[in-house]
A and B are shown apart, each in its own frame.
Chain A
Amino acid sequence: MLNNNEKPLLKVENLHVHFKTEDGIIKAVNGVSFELYPGETLAIVGESGSGKTVTALSTIRLLDENGWIEEGKIQYKDNDVLSLSDNQLRKIRGKEISMIFQEPMTALNPVFTIGDQIIESLELHLDMNKQEARRKAIDLLRKVGIPEPERRIDQYPHELSGGMRQRAMIAMALSCNPSILIADEPTTALDVTIQAQILELMKDLQKEFQMSIIFITHDLGVVAEMADRAIVMYGGEVVEAADIITIFKKPRHPYTWGLMNSIPRIDKDEERLLSIPGVVPNPLNFPKGCKFSNRCFFADEKCVEENPNLEEIEENHFSRCWHIDRMLREMHKVKEGER
């Protein structure tokens, strides 16, 4: 792990987030804990509905009206985020912890120019006057690689391409020099070539601005590219956490292993990819024991009955599984069988 001796910037402990819906209470996040250190990139990996976005949004208490944090502790620097007043919280949002979203078209307000939206945040947090803020905004746009920023600043979101919009969105998020950037699938809606450019840009900016990034994604390719460390989530729980090389080389949870083997690889000659059977169940009826047991190749009665704990299986490598040994023994057979 990087910077192991440093104090964490953000510390989330035993986070539980619930949502009230017509069908009942959905427990979207169940006891997630993680730490984020200065300058590192943490990836939160998982399928849709695994609770990865909710976890990230909870760190600045940005939940929908029907959701609430049931229990847990979130500490940013010396602030207990859960006990902050709305006013104090607004000072953290955007200035200390800011966010970029998946769909740059819908995340930018269509009736304002991109300049207006960047300037709004500068005026709000840095007390700049209009002219200073405008100069800074042009500067930011140039930094995120938008050509002719003096002209672009007065354009509306609909006049920009998808990649340009995402760059503008990044400029907006970085405007107040935040220490943490939460990126919620920032490249999912973009073309592959643009994706690569945006990722490259984010890496450069991370170095320049000295910030930490929480990268939410389901795309393992992007994780390999960007992250220092990853936590894998399933059913609102962390199932495996480790540094990025360990996760890819030595996955120690059947879900992570399944994910790794479901990406095509150019260096291995495989006729068929492994696929994890089934889909993520409705959050209201996950299995009683291990949440993954109904889709797992290695599950037995014990898995169905009892949920394993997240154990440290080697230094800084955590996994939530009863049968790591069996998985290691049988995974070749499973692959053969699939084939």
Chain B
Amino acid sequence: MSEEFKRTLKRFFTNPSALIGVTILIFFIIIAIFAPWIAPPKIPVNKNLEKARNLLENYSEENKYLIINELKNFWDDTYFFAEDDYIELSNLMETIAKFHNKEVSSNELKAHIKELTDYYILNITYYEKFDEETNKVIKNLKKEYNKIEKKYKESVISLNLINELEKIDGEEFVKQAIKVVSRFDKNFHEAIGFNPYIMPNVTTTRTPIPPSKEHPFGIVNQKDIFYGVIWGTRTAFEIGLVVVAISTVIGLFIGSVAAYFGGWLEEVLMRITDIFMSIPFMLAAMVLTTILGLGIKNMMIALIVFGWMVTARLIRGNILQAKNEQYVMAAKALGVSDFFIIVKHILPNTIFPVLINATMRIGSMVITAAALSFLGLGAPQGYADWGSILSYSRDWIIGGTNPTQYWFTILYPGIAMILFVIGWNLLGDALRDVFDPRMRH
């Protein structure tokens, strides 16, 4: 076995397309892993925390109360209203519960919501939309309550931490204080909704700015293309791997159930597959994304829903073929059980085309996702995604004084995408050549 494994590895690494494919993919994986170092995001800092950190670096006894003061200031800024908000919303929840039990009329509930919106605890839309979409508003209010409850609990924990700090001195204090500061840092980022995948604006000029030392790939729509391409690598992997993995599992399940059980079940499943196949993929994905709402997650769901049919057909056809092979009959004649026949004899003979197909689909999924983003259906504004950057360049495609003036807006994200797809395709090809024993001579 190990001898065979060695031979397989050797075949794999002497296969030129495998080498190129693997090199490209390793390159992208490294970029994805080291994105925070290659293109460091501009992490917003809280002034209080920053001061506290500086004071901690040159710690002395007198500083202790200054540091605690800064932390308390941070706490005041972040959590001052947390308790009040929590109490107010708890009351609102009670009113909602009463409303469900018909003890409170809808007008009374509405009045209660108005009270909270007047204090700016809740967004005014909850009041305005109440009559139109009562159920949805109540559902969202519950979510709001959960959020505030979480914030309130965190505020209690944070206050405790500060009080604990006051009681200790010396090195122990420094050690604990550093921990507290980094915890507060995280809370701060959560509170302001910081996300490194959102490309920051780096300029106020609207027209694209050509590559410079500071922004090596140039700037489009005020965003640094370099930052977008680097962080977009993570998005590409996420979309490709998740969509293909889930849709392949769905396809495998449907296809193999159809093939094993046969009869009317097979007929029904395969006709459903046909119906899904008859809908143009891009159109279906576009419509479903629009229905579900924009965003990466919803786009991925749409791609999964319309991406499993090829796998289902492939595995079904292969299993039907393998089922009639003589080696299956021979295994039966040897007394091997049905389960082992499926797992040991049929699957290894049928799974390779599916794996190869999946590998190649990872690349093309990224292209499809980019197309959806290009149409404005995928990633949200400013999200680091190759398709989104390309969609920015749409406005500059005819250039200014000459058509190639803004070449960099297309070239870099385009190259990244092409390399990514080529990498997966070469890997898929090589896997077919190397691992499928029937392809050997």
Residues of A within 8 A of B (CB): 60, 62, 65, 89-95, 98-99, 101, 103, 106-113, 120-121, 124-125, 154, 156, 158, 169, 172-173
Contacts and interface: CB of A to CB of B under 8 A. Distances in A.
Given A93-B333, A94-B333, A109-B330, 8 more contacts: A62-B329, A98-B333, A98-B334, A107-B327, A107-B330, A109-B348, A110-B349, A156-B437
Interface string B384-424: 00000000000000000000000000000000000000000
B330 A101 contact: yes
Given A92-B335, A120-B336, A107 B329 contact: yes
B42 interface: no
A58 to B, nearest CB: 12
A101 B326 contact: yes
A98 B330 CA distance: 9
**Most chain B CB atoms below 10 A, which of A89, A95, A121:** A121
Taking chain B's interface residues, is the majority helix, strand, or loop, or is none over half, making it mixed? helix
Closest 7 pairs (CB-CB, A-B): A94-B334, A93-B335, A94-B335, A99-B333, A90-B335, A106-B326, A109-B327
B167 interface: no
Interface string B154-168: 000000000000000
Contacts of B325: 106
B326 A107 contact: yes
A113 B337 CA distance: 20
B336 A109 contact: no
Given A109-B345, A110-B349, A158 B440 contact: yes
B331 interface: yes
A157 B1 CA distance: 15
A106 to B, nearest CB: 4
A113 B330 CA distance: 15
Nearest to A121: B334
B4 interface: yes
B102 interface: no
A62 B332 contact: yes
B3 interface: yes
A87 to B, nearest CB: 8
13 contacts: A60-B333, A89-B335, A90-B335, A93-B335, A106-B325, A106-B326, A107-B330, A109-B345, A110-B327, A111-B437, A121-B334, A154-B3, A158-B438
A154 B440 CA distance: 16
B334 A120 contact: yes
B335 A158 contact: no
A108 B262 CA distance: 25
A109 B329 contact: no
B335 to A, nearest CB: 4
Interface residues of B, number: 24
Contacts of B334: 93-94, 98, 120-121, 124, 172-173
Contact of A125 (B329, B335, B349): B335
Interface string B234-247: 00000000000000
A155 to B, nearest CB: 9
Interface in B422-441: 437-438, 440-441
Contacts of A108: 327, 330
A109 B349 contact: yes
B335 A101 contact: no
A90 B341 CA distance: 12
B344 to A, nearest CB: 8
A333 B37 CA distance: 100
**Most chain B CB atoms below 10 A, which of A90, A101, A107, A111:** A111
Contacts of B438: 110-111, 158
Contacts of A169: 330
A280 to B, nearest CB: 23
Contact of A91 (B333, B335, B349): B335
B329 A158 contact: no
A288 B331 CA distance: 39
A90 B337 contact: yes
